[in-house]
């Protein structure tokens, strides 16, 4: 059994985290879900807790375990950090070294661990030179990416930026867990 920390950020594609969690759990992986505050506007902790069969983390100071720094222990036990979906905001934060919530703090504490990022955003946001620069910076630091696909986006535009398909995300996840 491998430990996957699944980070879910505030994108309309957050609902796909349910299927990702379910399928990883069925593949005998321990899935430790972290929801950002914005992600909780799209999907509830209860949904993912039920599918993962374990606690979902939403804040830095959720029910601390005596003697344990949860962001450090999650980072240490992770075989892979999977961020699906990853917004432009989240990508910018970690590219800048900002650790101001549970998910960004776990990523910063997971130095040397594989981080698989699955972007999801509007095409203009994805193609913004700031975002492309942040992605290149993260790639240079060893982060892995599952490229977004072209589709009709939530805003009604047709373009690149939709979260990669669940099968593609799971295939990449299994590849990096081997």
Is the residue at 177 inside a domain?
A: no
Tally of domains in the chain: 1
Distance, in Å, from the CA atom of 96 to the CA atom of 90, rounded to the nearest integer, reads 10
Give exposure, 84-107, as e/b (b: 16+ Cβ within 10 Å).
Answer: bbbbbbbbbbbbeeebebbbbbbb
We report the CATH number of the domain holding residue 38 as 3.40.50.1950
Active site residues: 155
Whether 170 is covered by a domain: the verdict is: no
Q: Residue 178 falls within a domain, yes or no?
A: no
This prediction has a pTM of 0.94
Residue with tokens 């720094």: 69
Q: Would you say residue 69 lies in a domain?
A: yes
Per-residue pLDDT at 67 = 55
In a domain, 164, yes or no: no
The residue segments making up the domain with residue 50 are 9-151
Q: Is residue 52 part of a domain?
A: yes
Give Cα 153 to chain centroid, integer Å: 19
Residue 160 lies in a domain: no
Each residue of 27-80: pLDDT tens digit? 999 999 999 999 999 999 999 999 999 999 998 766 555 556 677 889 889 999
Whether 172 maps to a domain, the answer reads no
Query: Which pLDDT score, from 0 to 100, does residue 72 have?
Result: 83
Nearest to 22 by CA among 47, 58, 2: 47
């Amino acid at each position: 059994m491998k430990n996957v920390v699944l980070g879910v950020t505030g994108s309309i594609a957050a609902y796909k985290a349910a299927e990702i969690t379910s399928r990883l759990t069925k593949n005998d992986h321990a899935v430790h879900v972290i929801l950002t505050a914005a992600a909780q506007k799209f999907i509830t902790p209860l949904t993912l807790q039920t599918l993962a069969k374990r606690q979902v983390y939403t804040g830095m100071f959720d029910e601390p375990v005596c003697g344990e720094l949860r962001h450090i222990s999650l980072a240490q036990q992770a075989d892979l950090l999977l961020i699906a979906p990853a917004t432009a905001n989240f990508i910018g934060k970690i590219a800048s070294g900002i650790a101001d919530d549970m998910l960004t703090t776990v990523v910063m504490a997971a130095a040397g661990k594989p981080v698989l990022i699955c972007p999801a955003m509007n095409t203009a946001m994805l193609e913004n030179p700031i975002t492309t620069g942040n992605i290149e910076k993260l790639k240079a630091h060893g982060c892995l990416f599952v490229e977004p696909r072209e589709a009709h986006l939530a805003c009604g535009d047709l373009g690149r930026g939709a979260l990669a398909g669940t099968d593609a995300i799971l295939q990449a996840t299994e590849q990096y867990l081997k």
